[in-house]
Amino acid sequence: MITISNLSAILEEDGIIFLAYGGLFTQPLIAGMTEALEKESEEADMPIGIANKIFVIFIELSQNMMHYAKQHPHDSKGLIYVIRQPDRYIICSQNVVSHKERDMLEERLTHLASAGKEEIKALYKEARKHGTDTHEKGGGLGFLEIAKKADRIASLFQENEKGEIHFKLCATLFV
């Protein structure tokens, strides 16, 4: 999983870290980080379409971490970062989930990672129309929104020695 050392290596080798945060997530914190991202995107002369996609993905990943933090008060911290590389932006989050949540998320995200844009749009439209896939059930509209905006998504689940499942989700936008 990602550590401060890993982030330093990414910065040295691969590009610029626009934003990195590890800790408890709250709505005011997410708003502040989104504002910082907006300023960074303006200073970097980022195309507005890319910037908007990054904001949506960042907010969805952050809210997802807030959702799962409520389920895991013993380990409610998360990690989120945005990296700029010469040909892409990568937005990743990492947090703890239960074994049951892992099973549900893994199935859902594996399907979304292999789905085409038209299928993702159809799934999103269906979920909105029928009110399915809400955040209360986990893996809901937010993941569909991320899949719609990203060029590629990838997830990883790793169990540590304490039996905790660390869930990492990355969305890539090619420029």
Query: Coil, helix or strand for 46?
Result: coil
Written as tens digits, the pLDDT of the chain (175 aa) is 555 566 566 656 656 677 888 888 888 888 999 998 898 888 888 899 999 999 999 999 998 888 877 676 666 678 898 988 889 999 999 998 889 999 999 999 999 999 999 999 999 999 888 876 655 544 578 999 999 999 999 999 999 898 889 999 999 999 9
Pick the CATH number of 4-174 from 3.30.565.10, 2.160.10.10, 2.30.40.10, 3.30.1240.10: 3.30.565.10
Q: What pLDDT does 136 receive?
A: 53
Q: What pLDDT does 20 receive?
A: 80
Cα–Cα distance for residue pair 123/112, rounded to 1 Å: 10
Q: Model pTM?
A: 0.85
Q: What pLDDT does 5 receive?
A: 61
Q: How far is CA 8 from the centre of its chain?
A: 20
Name, in order, each residue with C-beta under 8 angstroms of 82's C-beta and a sequence gap of 6 or more.
Answer: 17, 18, 19, 20, 37, 54, 58, 89, 90, 91
Q: Where are the domains of the chain?
A: 4-174
